[in-house]
Each structure stands twice: as C-alpha cells, then as structure tokens.
Amino acid sequence: MNVERLIAEAEIIVVCGSGGVGKTTASAALALGAARRGRTACVLTIDPARRLANALGLEELPDEAHEVPLPAGGGRLFAMALDAKRTFDRLVEEHAPTAEARDRILRNRIYGQLSSAMGGSQEYMAMERLFELHEQGIYDLLVLDTPPSRHALDFIDAPNRITRFVEGRALRTLVEGGLRVGGLGLRALGQASLVGWKALERVIGVTFLSDLTEFLLAFEGMYDGFKERATAVRSLLGDRRTVFLLVTTPEREPIEEAIFFWQRLVEAELPFGGVIVNKVHADFLGDERHRSPAALRRAALAQLAEAGLEASVAGRVADAFLAHQVLVERDRANVRSLARRLGSEPLLEVPYLDGDVHDVPGLERLEPHLFATGA
Ligand SMILES: Nc1ncnc2c1ncn2[C@@H]1O[C@H](COP(=O)(O)OP(=O)(O)OP(=O)(O)O)[C@@H](O)[C@H]1O
Ligand SMILES: [Mg+2]
C-alpha cells in the first residue's frame, strides 16, 4: 500500500474496522501525515467516546472544525466531532421550502425523536457532513474515523436508508391508508373532523397526533431535495476521489470482519484502498527465528547474564521474550493468511508501539510505519 500516494490523490478517506483495532489512531495519523506534507487536512469522528480528541492530545472536540497546533511548518490539521442531530437540522434548514416549514419541523417533537433515534442516522449524517465539507472545498483531504464495523453495513446503506426515511413510507402508508378508507387525503388529518380520528385521539393523545400530522405535512415538500442529496452523497462515496481503508489487528476475529467488510465494499462498488494491519508484534529475532525455544532461551540468558542481570530476573525476562515470540509467530501466520485471501489488494503492517498514542508526538511515532511503502 502506498499511503504517500493515497493521501496525495484522495480527497476523502473513510477508515473502517472492528472495535479497538486503531481506526481513530490511524485516521488521526493519516490526517497528520497529510498536513505535514503541506495539505490542509481535517479528521472527523463520530465516535462518542472522544477518542479522537484524546489521540490528538485535545481536551474536547466541538462539532465545528478545530485547528490542531502542529510543531513545525507544512500544511494545517483540523479535527471535528460530528453531531448527528445538528447535521440533520442543517439538512432540514437547507431543504425546507419556507422558513415557517423549517421552524415547524425543527420544533416538532416527532422530528426530535426520529432524527436522533433513527437507526443508522449517525452513519448517514457523517456521510452527509462529509459531503457538505467536501462541497465547501476548504480542505484538501477529509479523513473520516468511523465507529466499530458492526455498523459497517449501515454506512454503505446509509444514503438509501435516509431516502426511505424521508419518504416516510411506513408512516405515510399507515396514515393515508387509514384515511383513504374514510375517503380523505392526508391534509384532512389536520382538521380532526373524523369520527375515527376522534377515537384515535383519545387513545394516542391529541398532541401526538397533531405532531405527527404536522411532521408529515411539513416534510412533504422536502422529499425530493433529500432524495437528490442522498444520491449525490452515494455517488461521491463511489467515485475516484474517495477511498475506503480497513484497519485490523493481526488476530483472527478482526481479520474475519475486515474480510467481510472488504467483500461488502467490492459488492457495493465502493473504492477500496487496502488493509492496514495494526499492532503487529515486532520480531526481534530476524534470522535467529529457526532456533528452538530452548536454544533461544539459553542464548537470551547468556546475553542477559553478560549484561549483568541477576539470574532470577534474567529468567523472567527470557520467558517474557519467548512469550512475545509466540505472538510474533501468531501475527505472522495471520497476516500471511490475510494477504493470501486479499489476493493482490494492498496490505500494510504497522507495528505494536510501546505506550498508547495520545498526542501529536505519539502519532508522529506511528507515521514512518504508516507512510512506509508496504507489500
Ligand atoms: N500501533 C499501535 N501501537 C500501540 N498502541 C496502539 C497502536 N494503535 C492504536 N493503539 C492504541 O490502541 C487503543 C485503541 O486505538 P483506537 O482508539 O485508535 O482504536 P479504534 O479502532 O478507534 O477503537 P474503537 O473501535 O473503540 O473506536 C488506543 O489506546 C491506542 O492508543
Ligand atoms: Mg475509534
């Protein structure tokens, strides 16, 4: 994988993978690397855990772009935590036919519930915001850090989902169907003149029904705008300016998830950039690897004794070293099998660093590995 070229050519990088593999860290490091190479980069997160703020050494991240101070020269780095509800509000503001309709929707209780509770809304809103920021053209590169990939499919499906939501098919069918029986259209809902309507009111409550009516009426003029927008978002995600990167650790489960995700990306014809295998245990043995554990232990003990370490401590160090080597072998086997399954797709190994990555200098330690040209 040639990350150098990737960040030079892509305008949007979407970073996906399962929980805890290093998506946030990789996203921040990619954006930082781009900034250090003279680009204006922005890293966005929808991770409620505030890990991005953490990785960048910031106290908190607002919904607006926040500039991250960089040590020296180059371009600029910004970071942003996305607020799904606010993005949705902005969409309504943009697409509402009149100021009055806009206010009616934003104040509406059902809208309030739906906009924050709708499944996949976070994912869609992230894509929506990505689109918006891309349109603004302020940044050369946008890197989106996503939540763990059990939501992966939501991302890919998000634009379709939002279309279904704004069409409100289920709700509309329900209400209109009921009214058609009484020979009335949707607008009659507001008049509360139906006998059945009265009965319904008693059961569900007046405010709920008037909220629902108002919501459906207010949304009527917006379907086309929303649908058009969802189509535009989908096509931006699918075109050459965007690239999806998968992150995994060299362990069985996250690798299976990465493979699954990769296949879904290919099926959905979304641009796949490769897999970053993060936290690979470094092999300190090199050519010595063929030696038996017992021989290795003896050699390690001899060297430790030479370095003046007391025998009991040296024994424990040698054991820890051998235990580490077991992980090295496991990682090697898993990476090899992953590479085989990916065929010619790009793959990049990033070592397990000692110490967490929680500030810009920490990310800089990661950078040479990330920007190295992999197999
Ligand atoms: N190469 C690495 N070496 C050592 N530690 C790392 C490395 N990459 C990430 N970490 C550490 O692993 C932890 C998880 O990383 P991170 O938060 O980036 O994962 P994530 O995939 O975004 O997690 P989540 O799915 O919860 O969002 C962090 O404490 C981070 O500092
Ligand atoms: Mg994260």
Q: Which atom of ligand 1 is nearest to the CA of 147?
A: 27
The Cα–Cα gap between 305 and 136 comes to: 63
Q: What is the model's pLDDT at position 290?
A: 76
Q: Give yes or no for residue 362 CB within 6 A of ligand 1.
A: no
Q: Quote the pTM value.
A: 0.82
- 174 has a pLDDT exceeding 60: no
368 close to ligand 1 (CB < 6 Angstrom)? no
Q: Would residue 168 be called left, alpha or beta, if left means φ above 0 and alpha means ψ between -120 and 50 degrees?
A: left
- Enter the DSSP assignment of 137: T
Q: Are 197 and 215 in contact (CB under 8 A)?
A: no
Of residues 183 and 280, more confidently modeled: 280
Counting from 1 in the atom list of ligand 1, the atom nearest the Cα of 26 is: 18
Question: For ligand 1, what atom is nearest to the CA of residue 351?
Answer: 1
Per-residue pLDDT at 229: 78
Cβ-based neighbours of 39, under 8 Å, separated by 6 or more:
7, 8, 75, 140, 141
pLDDT confidence of residue 160: 67
**Cβ–ligand 1 contact at 248 (below 6 Å):** no
What value does the mean pLDDT of the chain take? 81
CATH for 3-85+119-163+232-282+344-370 is 3.40.50.300
Higher pLDDT, 241 or 146: 241
Give the Å distance between the CA of 279 and the centre of ligand 1. Answer: 9
Place 173 in a pLDDT band, splitting at 50, 70 and 90. low
Nearest CA to ligand 1 atom 8: 22
pLDDT of residue 74: 84
* Bigger pLDDT: 179 vs 97: 97
Q: What is the position in ligand 1's atom list of the atom closest to the CA of 352?
A: 3
CA distance 154 to 39: 30
Ligand 1, residue 279: give the atom nearest the CA: 1
Q: Alpha-carbon distance 375 to 270, whole Å?
A: 22
Residues of the chain with CATH 3.40.50.300: 3-85+119-163+232-282+344-370
CA of 64 to the centre of ligand 1 (A): 24
- Looking at the predicted structure, is the pLDDT value of residue 192 above 50? no
Kindly state if the Cβ of 79 falls inside 6 Å of ligand 1: no
- Give Dmax over CA atoms of the chain in angstroms: 95
The answer to whether the CB of 20 is under 6 A from ligand 1 is yes
- pLDDT interval class at 347 (50, 70, 90): very high
For the record, the structure tokens of 6 come out as: 């990737």
Please write the tens of the pLDDT for every residue from 102-152.
888 888 877 777 666 554 566 777 777 888 899 999 999 999 998 775 555
* DSSP-derived 3-state class of residue 335: helix
Highest mean pLDDT among 70-74, 200-204, 222-226, 242-246: 242-246
Measured by CA distance, the residue closest to atom 4 of ligand 1 is: 353
Distance 36 CA to ligand 2 centre (A): 22
Is 349 a pocket residue for ligand 1 (Cβ < 6 Å)? no
Instruction: Check: CB of residue 246 under 8 Å from CB of residue 274.
Output: yes
**CB-ligand 1 contact for 190 (6 Å cutoff):** no
Ligand 1 lined by 48 (C-beta under 6 Å)? no
